[in-house]
Amino acid sequence: MEQAYAAIGRAVIAMQMFEAAFVSIHEGFRMTTDEAYREATGGMIDEQKYWTATANVVKALSGRGQIAADLEDRFNTLIERRNELMHRWFMHHGWPSPDTNSAADYAPVVELAEWVRTEANMITRMMAGYMVQHAHPDAAEKDIEAYRQAMAELFHKLHVQE
């Protein structure tokens, strides 16, 4: 039983890291690619942006044609599976009796939680890797046009960084 709770906790932390990184990177991307937005925000990320559902950020990128289809699918799958784990697991699957110590009874929720944690961590690392490679201040100083191009292509090329 404790393994299930630990697995869910690790999934929650991984998703929080993913969401914080994704929103921050998306906001930085918008400020880099949309000068009017940068001026309107003063180059600062409003705390309310972190309250926006991650799925809405993916929809916004998609609506503007700024995300590769396979990356959009990957984000949406992660978000859907996280939602299943966090919001619908009990409704769809129930929960084992508190008296059970059978690992098999908890195996399905542990498996989903581990998938969510692993995928969230992989995508977070992928985003961080892209940003370190292409959005580093030295890159902007060396070649501002290459920097702007890399930022404009961020969510089109991010997934090839694995």
3-15 tens-digit pLDDT: 999 999 999 999 9
Tell me how far apart the alpha carbons of residues 43 and 25 are, in angstroms, rounded to a whole number: 13
Instruction: Please tell me what DSSP assigns to residue 53.
Output: -
Kindly report which listed range (6-15, 61-70, 139-148) carries the lowest average pLDDT score.
139-148
pLDDT digits (tens, 9 = 90+) for 43-53: 899 888 888 88
Short-list 41, 10, 17, 13, CA closest to 27:
41
pTM above 0.85, yes or no: yes
What does the angle CA 51 – CA 15 – CA 6 come to, to the nearest 5 degrees? 130
Nearest Cα to 19, choosing from 67, 70, 83? 83
**Domain around 123:** 2-161
Percent of the chain with pLDDT over 90: 51
Q: How many domains does the chain have?
A: 1
Query: Using an 8 Å Cβ cutoff, are 23 and 54 in contact?
Result: yes
pLDDT at 161: 55
What confidence score (pLDDT) does residue 14 get?
A: 98
pLDDT tens per residue across span 89-141:
989 988 888 787 788 999 999 999 999 999 999 999 999 988 888 777 777 77
Q: How confident is the model at residue 162 (pLDDT cuts 50, 70, 90)?
A: low
Q: What is the mean pLDDT of the chain?
A: 89
Structure tokens at 157: 């090329």
